[in-house]
Amino acid sequence: MFPGYLFAKFVYSTQRRAVENSHGIRGIVHFGDRLATIPENVVTALQSRVGSEGIVTLDCSIKIGQSVQIIDGPFQGLEAVVTHLLSAKERIRVLFNFLGRAVEMEVPTEKVLAA
């Protein structure tokens, strides 16, 4: 899924140089001054999907009624339920609770992750 990338857990302040100087490492991913981090539960979820050959097989098809999490934009982190597939636009319509009421909106499929 992430060719050429190595996920590592280390103490940046004391182990940065050792990591950067390791064989095959070109650098630590960052965005400006901010380091790229991944929550440990995401790494654990990825590890749980690895088959016996070290290959992850993903089913990227989203289905009506499926729970998804919005992963980008102003509603990042909210969970929603898919109500319509708008495949021509690579978008879906989702329903979620916001400020105590049900709200339906369209989002690009790349901005959601199956919950």
With 0-12 CB in 10 A as exposed, 13-18 as middle and 19+ as buried, what is 83? middle
Contact status, residue 68 vs residue 82, Cβ threshold 8 Å: yes
Give the length of the chain: 115
**Res. 89 pLDDT band, cuts 50 70 90:** confident
pTM of the model: 0.48
Give all domains of the chain, ordered by start, each with its CATH number. Answer: 1-57 (no CATH), 67-114 (2.30.30.30)
Mean pLDDT, the chain, rounded, equals: 86
Q: Comparing 99 with 15, which gets the higher pLDDT? A: 15
Q: Which pLDDT score is estimated for 80? A: 94
